[in-house]
Amino acid sequence: MTTVQPVNRVLPGTPEFTDLLDQIRSGAKDRDLNDENPFDQVNALKRAGFGTLRLPTDLGGAGFTVPQLFSTIIDVAAADPIVAHIFRTHFWFVEERLRTLAGEERSEPGNGTPDPRSRQWLARVVEGKTVGNAFSEKGSNAVGSLVFNTRLLPVPGGYRLTGEKYYSTGTLFSDYLTVTATTDHDSVAIVVVPADRDGVRLVDDWDGFGQRRTGTGRTTFTGVDVAPDEVLSDTPYDAPPVPTVQYASLQLYIHAVVAGVLQTIVDDGVELLRSRTRSFSHALTESPVDDPLYQRQLGELASTAYVARAAVLDAAGAIEAATNSVHPTIAGAPNADLAAEAQLKVAKVKVHLDAVAPEAATRLLELGGASAASRQRNLDRHWRNIRTITLHNPVAYKARVIGQNLLHDTPIPANAYF
246-275 vs 88-106: helix crossing angle, rounded to 10: 150
| pLDDT tens by residue, 358-380 | 999 999 999 998 889 999 999 99
CB atoms closer than 10 angstroms to residue 281: 6
Looking at residue 43, the DSSP 8-state letter turns out to be H
Three-state SS string across 57-117, please? HHHCCCCCCHHHHHHHHHHHHHHCHHHHHHCHHHHHHHHHHHHHHHHHHHCCCCCCCCCCH
Least confident of 103-107, 281-285, 385-389, 392-396: 103-107
Q: Does the structure show a pLDDT above 80 at 44?
A: yes
- Indicate the SS3 state at residue 174: coil
| pLDDT tens by residue, 150-208 | 999 999 999 999 999 999 999 999 999 999 999 999 899 999 999 999 999 999 999 99
Q: Does the structure show a pLDDT above 50 at 111?
A: no
Q: Which residues contact 44 (CB under 8 A, 6 or more apart)?
A: 20, 23, 24
Interstrand relation of 176-182 and 187-194 (parallel, antiparallel or unpaired): antiparallel
Region 118-142: mean pLDDT is: 92
pLDDT at 7: 67
Q: Does the structure show a pLDDT above 80 at 242?
A: yes
pLDDT at 380: 97
Q: How confident is the model at residue 103 (pLDDT cuts 50, 70, 90)?
A: low
Q: Which residues contact 129 (CB under 8 A, 6 or more apart)?
A: 51, 175, 176
**Exposed/middle/buried for residue 200 (C-beta within 10 Å: 0-12, 13-18, 19+):** buried
How many Cα neighbours within 13 Å face the side chain of 138? 7
| pLDDT tens by residue, 194-222 | 999 999 999 999 999 999 999 999 999 99
Q: How far apart are CA 80 and CA 13, in angstroms?
A: 17
Q: Does the structure show a pLDDT above 90 at 110?
A: no
